[in-house]
Amino acid sequence: MQPDPTNLINKIDLSTPIIGFYDAPDTAPFEPLTQSEPGKRACVFDFYRPWIQGKTLHITRDNHGCGGAGHWVFGIENRSRQGFIEFLVDDEGLKSSHELMGQWLDHSQPYQPQHPNILIGPLRPDQYAHLKTITFYANPDQLGVLMLGAQYHNAPGDPPAVIAPFGSGCMQLVSLFASLEVPQALIGATDIAMRRALPPDALAFTVTKALFKQLCELDEKSFLYKPFWQNLRKARGLAD
């Protein structure tokens, strides 16, 4: 059963929908759907506004919108390894050398879908079994609160509660997690190629299901109910 995020949403004044990344056998439960026009390039994040309107992006191996999503979500090889390295380094300037980019590629693995359909859009509680990650689009204040939430149960020696690895925006939704089974968050939407689709004060805070449960269970003992957060809300004109 999906944890209920209502209290968390209310406490952090979140006005944008929480977005789920689903790997599902059937698309009907996610309607209304939206897709990129076949044969046309479209970034996953070009569908941010449709998400806000309650629509779900449907991507497949045959219609994934851009080469980045095709590679990092479906493992499709769109070009040779050397051609990919030259594009990322020479055309995009994303690493200081071909060698360094090659090392990064060797340590980066595409997501491996379990079903034909990847669906990205508002949460569907009845599809929780197919949910892989959950993304909050947060302003800096909200990001600070979510960061604290990620650290709340994290002990020294546990996997890092929050990571912020290099990678494309679509990678940051799922494939950059070493494991989807541990409570962990990833700060995303740091890819400048896709940020044009988002509000300028929004970053992504993508979490695994295990961490989502912990965030939804934050109670009166936590910082959500303590003076630091209440004082910050007052400073922003959000006092109850």
98, part of any domain: no
102, part of any domain: no
SS3 sequence of 72-130: HHHCCCCCCHHHHHHHHHHHCCCCCCHHHHHHHHHCCCCCCCCCCEEEEEECCHHHHHH
pTM above 0.85, yes or no: yes
64, part of any domain: yes
The answer to whether 214 touches 238, Cβ cutoff 8 Å, is no
Segment 16-48, tens digit of pLDDT: 999 999 999 999 999 999 999 887 889 999 999
86, part of any domain: no
User: Residue 163's beta-bridge partner residues?
Assistant: 186
92, part of any domain: no
Query: Would you state the pLDDT for residue 19?
Result: 98
85, part of any domain: no
What SS3 state is found at 181? coil
Q: What does the DSSP 8-state code read for residue 18?
A: P
Q: In terms of residue numbers, what domain contains 181? A: 6-75+110-235
